[in-house]
Amino acid sequence: MLHTPEGSATEALEERFAAPYLLTVRPSVGAVDLALVVENHPDGARGRVWRSPEAPGELLPFEVSTSAILTNDGRWIIDLDDGGGSEVGSLVATSIDGTARVELTPGREPFVLRGLATSFDGSALVATVVDEKGFHVLMIPASPWGEPRVVYSNPVEAWFGLPAADASLVSIDTTDHNPGIRRPLITVVDGATGETVATLDDLPDGPVRAVRFSPVTGDDRLLLNTERSGFSRPVLWHPRTGERRDFDLTDLAGEVIALDWNAAGGRILVLHVDGGIHRLLELDEADGSVRVVLEGGSFAEPDIASVHPFYWTSYYAPDGRIRALRSSWDVPIHVTEVASDGAETPLIAPAPVPPGRPLTSTLVASADGTRVQLWSGSPEGREPLGTVLEIHGGPMLVAVDAYNPSAQAWIDAGFAYASLNYRGSVTFGRAFREGFWNAGGDREIEDVAAAIAWLRAQGLADPASTFITGASYGGHMTLLSIGRLPELFAGGLAHVAVADWSVTIEAMNPAVRTVWTSWVPPELVERFSAISYLDEVTASVWVNQGSIDTRTPVIGVQGYVDRLRTKGGDAVLEIFDGGHEPTGLNGAIHDQRRMQQLALRTLAGERWDNADLAPSHEH
């Protein structure tokens, strides 16, 4: 059992989730140095307006999401009003004092948001919205607010509409050339008429994705990332002339991902990722030379299937100074300004959380020899009580060296912790990212098995005390793993999961239904669904699902839990009041307390379904 008194363990857990910490910084696009700072607070995500070099201001009098943006005059917060987390709603502008509210899409049916950006001159807002009819890019006059007009529309997946500096052009990552396959090309349309100006396509060698237009009015060049080599590299392209400059950077292994562009200074901020390890670099546009800005930790977290391509990222201030967002497993996100000589000036300090443990990166060979990244760490000076393997969501996301209070809480409680970047994760190249396609879960299951085998070789991961956990696709993988690898796990702790893809896909919101229909065609649904392996499940199961989740609705797990219970399995379904992406320290500590409580029950030889569980919670 725990080596510390119960009161001490409870106090440590509460302290771990006590301090609000930074979730993201969304700089405004304009000449004024402004940003929306979003923090995780007890009741959810809260925002502050940051007018650098001053400290961020007081909390805004209303909640915001991590997708919200600040207009470049600092007056309005733009966000999706989705009724508390359903991800389906309407776009609104709220004045920073909370006294004024403008409906930006009046009369439009509720939609999912898949892109939100303002032009550098402040004249327009571009929103990429998804409804049952398809994917649409809206141009909304912003000074003053005006009626939106559609500049692009297609029933096939399209993401991240981005305006030129004066909104005369809009780029969109489109897939209508190859429906159902997430290998986009760039379509650039006229911002006034919606007519196609140009397209850029590197297929079949690799997709291309837009990053940003030049912020200099009259300079219509577009910064993008291509994968012609199989790994991401920056490109500058002029859609009106076709002129293109590729930065091949052949001396750098792995991915080099363009993050931001100081066009006036001829510099590009890039993230170098090799084997999952980050370096922040700066590329000189004139001669192609590269200098190292910072090393150690992480400097961006990709989020390529949401409203923005990064959950958080380092960027350039309007005057060209580098704003480095930096984090590691034991240090929350903080912001520093980096001079050309590498000197750092702290701007936003990391939240005062308890000391934690850094995690170690190991590349583990999977069944076919593919090397997958595994982060791992153990409590210091004691034998672990058990092992927890976490699987990230997505699948086209990634676990980076960034603060994770849940990971630290598991280690605080005496467990070894590991996090796996399985095939399907981004930043490891195109073949790795697409490695799960059309395999019915086989590749991911092989990667999970390889991770557990490596942990066993380190003296960890005893099947009697090993647990697997994850959210969204990670929740799906949690349930799939305890069915297909039942001999490896004593318990599965699944958040916002999927167990039956046949009913889930039908009930999903339209922004995700299209791609999942292609990734899980009818002939693979049974193999891909955890509900197909109920007869093999011996682990205890906890499923934590959002009541208004439209990505992974409750219907996708209800039948799994009911049938497992009928067969005598040990299963608990807990439904919280919220959607797919819960925030809030109160909800997070509830979930962590619940998971640790259930894991300790297993170690004591007790079932989960007869535990005296506290009432459900709100996120």
pLDDT, one tens digit per residue, over 163-222 is 999 999 999 999 999 887 889 999 999 999 999 999 999 988 789 999 999 999 899 999
Q: What would the pLDDT profile of 397-430 be if each residue is shown by its tens digit? A: 999 999 999 999 999 999 999 999 999 999 999 9
DSSP three-state, residue 125 = strand
Residue 520 has what DSSP assignment? S
d(CA 268, CA 234): 9
Average pLDDT over the chain, rounded to an integer = 93
pLDDT given at position 552: 80
Q: What would the pLDDT profile of 519-538 be if each residue is shown by its tens digit? A: 888 898 899 999 999 999 99
User: pLDDT band at residue 291, thresholds of 50, 70 and 90?
Assistant: very high
Strand partners, 312: 301
d(CA 497, CA 534): 15
Phi, psi of 448, rounded to the nearest 5 degrees: -60, -45
- Measured CA angle at 138 (ends 44, 109), to 5 deg: 65
Report the top-level CATH class of 108-242: mainly beta
Burial of 241 (0-12, 13-18, 19+ CB in 10 A): exposed
- Measured CA angle at 594 (ends 589, 595), to 5 deg: 100
User: Which CA distances in Å does 520 have to 422, 582, 591?
Assistant: 18, 26, 30
Which of 233-247, 472-486, 572-586 shows the lowest mean pLDDT across its residues?
Answer: 572-586
Give the count of beta carbons closer than 10 Å to the beta carbon of residue 179: 12
The H-or-E segment that residue 160 falls in is: strand 158-163
Percentage, residues of the chain above pLDDT 70: 98
Q: For the chain, how far is it from start to end, CA to CA, in angstroms?
A: 30
* Amino acid residing at 282: E
Q: How far is CA 261 from the centre of its chain?
A: 22
* Amino acid residing at 568: G
d(CA 474, CA 390): 8
d(CA 100, CA 102): 7
Two structure tokens written together for 568 = 């005598």
Lookup result for tokens 């980050």: 278
Residue 309 has what DSSP assignment? S
190 or 615, higher pLDDT: 190
Q: Are 297 and 252 in contact (CB under 8 A)?
A: no
User: pLDDT band at residue 518, thresholds of 50, 70 and 90?
Assistant: confident
User: pLDDT band at residue 3, thresholds of 50, 70 and 90?
Assistant: very low
DSSP string across 600-616: HHHHTT--STTS-PPP-
d(CA 219, CA 203): 26
DSSP string across 344-355: EEEEEPPP-PPP
Nearest to 566 by CA among 598, 593, 597, 531: 531
Domain ranges of the chain: 108-242, 354-607
Q: b or e along 368-407 (b: 16 or more beta carbons within 10 Å of the residue's beta carbon)?
A: eebebbbbbbbbeeeebbbbbbbbbbbbbbbbbbbbbbbb
pLDDT given at position 268: 98
pLDDT given at position 605: 96
Nearest to 163 by CA among 141, 134, 132: 141
pLDDT given at position 5: 44
Q: What is the mean pLDDT of residues 597-611?
A: 94
Is the CATH number of domain 354-607 3.40.50.1820?
yes
Percentage, residues of the chain above pLDDT 90: 82
Phi, psi of 463, rounded to the nearest 5 degrees: -55, -25
Task: Tell me the three-class secondary structure of 361-426, residue by residue.
Answer: EEEEECCCCCEEEEEEECCCCCCCCCEEEEECCCCCCCCCCCCCHHHHHHHHCCCEEEEEECECEC
Two structure tokens written together for 149 = 């007009």
pLDDT given at position 359: 98
User: pLDDT band at residue 2, thresholds of 50, 70 and 90?
Assistant: very low
Q: What would the pLDDT profile of 587-602 be if each residue is shown by its tens digit? A: 999 999 999 999 999 9
Q: What would the pLDDT profile of 76-131 be if each residue is shown by its tens digit? A: 999 999 988 888 899 999 999 999 999 999 999 999 999 999 999 999 999 999 99
Q: What would the pLDDT profile of 542-569 be if each residue is shown by its tens digit? A: 999 888 777 788 888 999 999 999 999 9
Q: Are 562 and 541 in contact (CB under 8 A)?
A: no
Lookup result for tokens 């912001």: 335
| Identical fold, 108-242 and 354-607 | no
Nearest to 392 by CA among 377, 381, 407: 407
Task: Tell me the three-class secondary structure of 408-477, residue by residue.
Answer: HHHHHCCCEEEEEECECECCCCHHHHCCCCCCCCHHHHHHHHHHHHHHHHCCCCCHHHEEEEEECHHHHH
Strand partners, 245: 236
